[in-house]
Structure 1
Amino acid sequence: MTGTARRGRPRSEDADARILGAAQELLFARGYDRFVMDEAAVRAGVAKTTLYRRWPTKDHLLVALVAKVQDEVPVADTGDVRADLTVYLTAIATGLNRMRAVGRTGDRDDRSAGMVAELVAAAARHPDVGDAVRGLFARRNTLVLALLDHARERGDLRAGTSSTVLFDQLAGALYYRLLVTGEPIDAAYVRDLVDHALTGAAATPHPERN
């Protein structure tokens, strides 16, 4: 979330980038509980009013940081749906594991959901943050849904396969592990997840392909 448009002087993209960069370093080093907005402003070299005008609370800033991280993950559509989904979901899993470790000290290896749990809580605390979170995921998911639509159009998935339901199965499993069971989300799990999901959705081979 980047805040609502305001009258007057236009926002500086450079200031936005510096704030988000400083905030990300601070958040990943300190964790959500020890993150201080004013310190982020100092690190970014901007006035505190500049920061709060863009993101009034650290909940709002958290959403902007998650958007930044997600936008750095490409969604490739090479024509090999299994490989494309595996690469994309592995990158997402890597990001989730990194957010799980935010603020963790020493060698502690607990099953906390870390910053993702804070994001869910922030969405519940602030209706506008909730709207921003849903908008963020809807925008990103559009790219993956298009990938699955193309796979269905090529005949790689059954004609009646719902791209939305299939992606819910894939993404939902990752977040279930993160938020509920605390089990590892590693590359091997992602491969198995994609294999099982696509086995159920795969189109029946044409006779001439047998």
Structure 2
Amino acid sequence: MARPRDTAVDAKVLEAARVLLRERGYAGFALDEAAARAEVARTTVYRRWPSKDHLVVAAFATMFETAPIRETGDVRTDLTGTLTAIAAGLRLPATRALVAELIAAGTRHPELGDALRPLWTQRRTAAAELIDRAVARGELAADADPALIIDQLVGPLYYRVLISGDPIDDCFARALVDTTLARHR
């Protein structure tokens, strides 16, 4: 019978991978270096994550924990909290660069793009469920489209990160929420 997986090892490797990703980005990321930084054998890492892309996606997924989607029962509060947390993360130069690089790499390397897409989908689904419950409470119009609302909120953040370079401060995040919700009440 196989030994159970040591979650402490998983945590060490994921932390090392996160640090390495922030320092070197996707292009400079090496699975072997992540193993060395975590002070575990390469084979230990390869048993858990068979490729660089698998470990990158797992490490990147843990970064979403810094911007949780919380529900208070007030859609404006909920969306403002979520958007300001996302904006705060994207203001960090290393995170901003990593997001840009992963999006670009995901278009060049379809396997990476396919592995990252479920992360975005999971976040979008959680936000859509929050919006659906706001519709059920009567906070938003019955015909409010959760996907459209999410795109209207998050799209401008990524536009500023990837294209314009304009700031994404909390005032901008709150203004996005206010103007978007005004359209869907």
TM-score, normalised by the number of residues in structure 2: 0.88
Q: Deviations over 1:19-70 (max 9, x none)?
A: 0111222332444454443222112111112223434554443322221011
* 2:17/2:34 contact within 8 Å kept: yes
Q: Which residue of 2 aligns with 1:64?
A: 58
CA contact (8 A) 1:62 1:119 kept: no
Q: How does 1:93-104 map to 2 (within 5 A)?
A: 93-98=87-92, 101-102=93-94
Percent identity over the alignment? 51
> 2:134 aligned with 1:140, yes or no?
no
Contact 1:63 1:119 in 2 (8 A): no
Q: How far apart are the structure 2 equivalents of 1:159 and 1:182?
A: 35
- 2:163 is matched with which residue? 180
Q: Which one has a larger percent helix, Structure 1 or Structure 2?
A: 2
For 1:191 and 1:72, how far apart are their aligned partners in 2? 18
Change (3 A) 1:135 1:10: farther
Residue 198 of structure 1 aligns with an amino acid whose one-letter code is L
1:45-124 map, 5 Å:
45-98=39-92, 101-102=93-94, 113-124=96-107
Asked if the contact 2:21–2:98 (Cα under 8 Å) also holds between the matched residues in 1, the reply is: no
Deviates more, 1:56-65 or 1:138-147: 56-65
C-alpha distance in structure 2 between counterparts of 1:130 and 1:63, whole Å:
10
Q: Could you tell me which of 158, 170, 176 is aligned with 2:153?
A: 170
Letter in 2 for 1:13: T
RMSD: 2.1
Considering only CA atoms, is the larger Rg found in Structure 1 or Structure 2? 1
* Cross-structure match for 1:109: none
How many positions carry a matched residue from both structures? Answer: 184
Deviates more, 1:124-133 or 1:14-23: 124-133
- What residue ranges of structure 2 are gaps of 5+ in the alignment? none
Q: Distance in 2 between matches of 1:193 and 1:76?
A: 18
SS in 2 for 1:46: coil
TM-score of the two chains, using structure 1 as the length reference: 0.78
After the TM superposition, which of the residue ranges 87-96 and 22-31 deviates more from structure 2?
22-31
